[in-house]
Amino acid sequence: MIFNVWRCFPIANTGHQTNEEIRDKVVRLISANGQQLGLMSSQEALRLAEEQNLDLVKISPNADPPVCKLMDYGKYRFEQTKREKEARKNQRVVEIKEIRMSPSIDVNDFNVKLRNAQKFLSEGNRCKVTVRFRGREMAHTDIGRDLLLKFAEECAGLAVMDKSPKLEGRHMSIFLSPKPSKDAKK
């Protein structure tokens, strides 16, 4: 004779074992207000949880014996998602803006690129400054290095140079990061 056993599994993987999912023989129990209730069987802990209309949640599965807590799990999940949502709202994505030049750039063009970089840095974005070498310009990479160092020196009030100029193929580049503001230190 064949019996089909149908089980209902929770839809979302919450990350914690709750109530009947806890299969350990002995658990260390913590009350809802944080008091240690000691070691007891999981059936007894589950009975206590049902008496208080709370859930039994395994909070430390790797401990010996595992640690379980009595809590309102629905309320806990709601507050956790609320905190995560708030953290995402306050998060700011830092973009990397790129400025390209050639070693034979004119003074006015250099100043325009410098103003753009300063604007990007004041907005809180990182800036990648690249010098592209063409043809015979590869023989004079020192001109590009001097140009990048001058650029970083001009931006020194707003930014910090992350790495010294580095040649990669036909491009030499530096990264500028905005200086931390005084408000962030407090």
Would you list the domain boundaries of the chain?
17-87, 96-185
Above 60 in pLDDT, residue 112? yes
Each residue's pLDDT tens digit, 72-102 = 888 888 888 898 888 888 777 777 888 999 9
Above 70 in pLDDT, residue 6? no
Considering the four listed CATH numbers 2.60.120.10, 3.10.20.80, 3.30.420.40, 3.40.50.1370, the one that applies to the domain covering 17-87 is 3.10.20.80
Average pLDDT over residues 25-53: 86
Average pLDDT over residues 151-166: 86
- Residue with tokens 């709202």, as numbered in its chain: 89
The alpha carbon dihedral of 137, 142, 148, 154 has a sign of: negative
Average pLDDT over residues 126-152: 90
CATH of domain 96-185: 3.30.110.10
Q: Which residue has the higher pLDDT, 11 or 181?
A: 181
